[in-house]
Amino acid sequence: MTELPLIGDAPGDAAVASRLAGARIGVVTFPGTLDDRDAARAVRLAGGTAVELWHADTELGDVDAVVIPGGFSYGDYLRAGAIARFAPLMSRIIDAANSDAKLPVLGICNGFQILTESHLLPGSMIKNDHLKFMCRDQVLRVENSNTAWTLDYIAGQEITIPLKNQDGQYIADDKTLDALEAEGRVVFRYVGFNPNGSRRDIAGISNAAGNVVGLMPHPEHAVEVGFGPETVVSRETGIAGSDTDGLGFFTSVLNKIVGGAK
């Protein structure tokens, strides 16, 4: 199956497609990263151009946004994300995310852990409360549709994307959690079942500016018809689980970059 842009490919919209393809989304690879190719594929399916970035690079280069994908960088040694945080490229990403340009950064799973270790996002992840690795299709509620990565969703919308982790229990002190809630920075919450004991069912959060978002579940694994969490039941009922619920992360940031954001 060839990769066709799912947006911007309508007849007569060649100009839109070309503008989307001009948006360059960097995808970082560390030793032990697993989902970089899936993340790059999600960027391309959304219509953008994926740019491979290597952890040891000392310059960020010409990218409009960055995805830090999942996996087990440095084998999760010391703490998940702890060693990756000090990679040369991470210093550039931290500076760019905090700069006036507010580079959009998405951390998925291990990428989320790297963002908390980098102090771009508050709190931390510890081992799942039940101590087991868990892999399932997970329902999330989009609580904030104003971040760079959630503009194409509607606040309150429920989406289903895969979740797979061992150290996925989000924790922070009550003061931090209260502030996150008050400022609308809880971006995703687990619905129906909390798979890891995360405080207040939090699945993903953002920084104050909304350009940096991290979450444990994997939107890049739900971007293509035939390869996502859709089941016979969800297909017939239309409830909980289309195959492409994760694609909105990538179309959101592309639309923001090309200026078509709502």
Partner 1 sequence: MPRIVVDVMPKPEILDPQGKAIVGALPRLGFTSFSSVRQGKRFELTVDGEVTEEILAQARDAAETLLSNPVIEDVVNVEVVEA
Question: Looking at the annotation, which residues are catalytic?
Answer: 109, 218, 220
Tell me the HSE value of 261 on the side-chain side, using a 13 A CA sphere.
18
Q: Which residue, 34 or 171, has its beta carbon nearer to partner 1?
A: 171
Q: Tell me the DSSP string of 151-166.
A: TTS-TT-EEEEEEEES
First to last CA, the chain: 31
Q: Which helix (H) or strand (E) holds 202?
A: strand 202-206
Q: Which residue, 9 or 95, has its beta carbon nearer to partner 1?
A: 95
- Kindly tell me which residue out of 6, 16, 126, 261 binds partner 1, with binding defined by CB under 8 A: 126
- Kindly tell me which residue out of 19, 37, 102, 127 binds partner 1, with binding defined by CB under 8 A: 127
In whole angstroms, give the CA distance from residue 95 to residue 123: 20
In the complex, minimum distance from the CB of residue 127 to partner 1, in angstroms, rounded to a whole number: 5
- Kindly tell me which residue out of 9, 95, 129, 178 binds partner 1, with binding defined by CB under 8 A: 129
**Residues binding partner 1: number (CB under 8 A):** 20
One symbol per residue from 106 to 125: x for binding partner 1 (CB under 8 A), - otherwise; what is it? ----------xx----xxx-
**CB distance 110 to 77 below 8 Å:** no
In the complex, minimum distance from the CB of residue 200 to partner 1, in angstroms, rounded to a whole number: 15
- Kindly tell me which residue out of 1, 4, 15, 131 binds partner 1, with binding defined by CB under 8 A: 131
Q: Which residue, 44 or 79, has its beta carbon nearer to partner 1?
A: 79
194 binds partner 1 (CB under 8 A): no
Backbone phi, then psi, for 28, in 5-degree steps?
-85, 135
Q: In what order do the strands lie in the sheet with 212-215?
A: 49-54, 24-29, 65-68, 105-108, 212-215, 202-206, 186-190, 134-142, 158-165
One symbol per residue from 60 to 99: x for binding partner 1 (CB under 8 A), - otherwise; what is it? ------------------xx--xx--x-------------
**CB distance 252 to 146 below 8 Å:** no
Q: Which residues bind partner 1 (CB under 8 A)?
A: 78-79, 82-83, 86, 116-117, 122-124, 126-131, 169, 171-173
